[in-house]
Amino acid sequence: MANEAHPCPCDIGHRIEYGGLGREVQVEHIKAYLTESPVDAGKAVIVIQDIFGWQLPNTRYMADMIAGNGYTTIVPDFFVGQEPWHPSGDWSTFPEWLKTRDARRIDKEVDAVLKYLKQRCHAKKIGVVGFCWGGVAVHHMMMKYPEFRAGVSIYGIIKDSEDVYKLKNPTLFIFAENDAVIPLEQVSLLTQKLKENCKVEYQIKTFSGQTHGFVHRKREDCLPEDKPYVDEARRSLLEWLNKYV
- Positions annotated as catalytic residues are 132, 179, 212
Q: How far apart are CA 42 and CA 71, in angstroms?
A: 8
Is the separation of the CB atoms in 191 and 223 below 8 Å? no
Task: Say if CB 166 and CB 198 are below 8 A apart.
Answer: yes
207 φ/ψ angles, rounded to the nearest 5 degrees? -100, 125
Residue 20 three-state SS: coil
Q: Is 71 exposed, middle or buried (0-12, 13-18, 19+ CB in 10 A)?
A: buried
- How many angstroms separate the CA atoms of 241 and 79, rounded? 25
Residue type, 4: E
Of the CA atoms within 13 Å of residue 20, those in its CB half-sphere come to 19
How many Cβ atoms from other residues are within 10 Å of residue 219's Cβ? Answer: 15
Strands 30-35 and 23-27: antiparallel
What phi, psi does 139 have (nearest 5°)?
Answer: -55, -45
> Measured between alpha carbons, how far is 132 from 12 in angstroms, rounded to an integer?
11
